[in-house]
Amino acid sequence: DSGVTQTPKHLITATGQRVTLRCSPRSGDLSVYWYQQSLDQGLQFLIQYYNGEERAKGNILERFSAQQFPDLHSELNLSSLELGDSALYFCASSVDWDRDVYNEQFFGPGTRLTVL
C-alpha cells in the first residue's frame, strides 16, 4: 500500500459525459502528478500540482482539467468524454519540498475509466 488513494476504482460512463477522479496523496506530500495509461498512448504525464498550484502540464487535453485543494487532495475532471479517453488514470504523490531534489513518486492504485 503506497498510501495514495484514488476513487473510484472503476468508472463506466457514456460518450459526452463528464466525470471526476479523486486522489488523496500520502500524508505530508505536497505534489500530485496525474498520468494516463492507454493502449495507444502508453503511460503519459498529464499535469502536476504542488501545494495547490499548477506546476507543470503535459499532454493534457483541453477537455480535461485538474485542481488541488487546500487539504492537498486533487481532482481530475474529464468532460465531453470520447471512446479514446478510456484508460487507466494514475495519481502519484511526492514530497517535492526542494524542486532540485528528486523525491520518489508513490503511485495510487489507479482509476480505470471505460467510455462506452
Partner 1 sequence: AQKITQTQPGMFVQEKEAVTLDCTYDTSDQSYGLFWYKQPSSGEMIFLIYQGSYDEQNATEGRYSLNFQKARKSANLVISASQLGDSAMYFCAMRARDGGATNKLIFGTGTLLAVQP
Contacting positions for partner 1 (CB under 8 A): 2, 31, 33, 35, 42-45, 48, 55-56, 58, 88, 90, 92, 94, 96, 99-100, 102-107, 109-110, 112
Backbone CA torsion sign across 79, 85, 86, 90: negative
In the complex with partner 1, the residue whose CB is nearer, 79 or 112, is: 112
- Cβ at position 16, least distance to partner 1 in Å: 26
Query: What is the residue whose three cell numbers read 482539467?
Result: 65
In the complex with partner 1, the residue whose CB is nearer, 61 or 88, is: 88
- Cβ at position 96, least distance to partner 1 in Å: 6
- Cβ at position 37, least distance to partner 1 in Å: 8
Torsion-angle region of residue 2: left (phi > 0), alpha (psi -120 to 50) or beta? alpha
32 neighbors 68 (Cβ within 8 angstroms): yes
Q: Please, which residues have CB within 8 angstroms of residue 33's CB and are 6 or more apart in sequence?
A: 45, 47, 48, 91, 92, 93, 94, 105
In the complex with partner 1, the residue whose CB is nearer, 79 or 86, is: 86
Q: Which residues pair with 23 in a beta bridge?
A: 6, 74
In the complex with partner 1, the residue whose CB is nearer, 18 or 34, is: 34
- Cβ at position 80, least distance to partner 1 in Å: 25
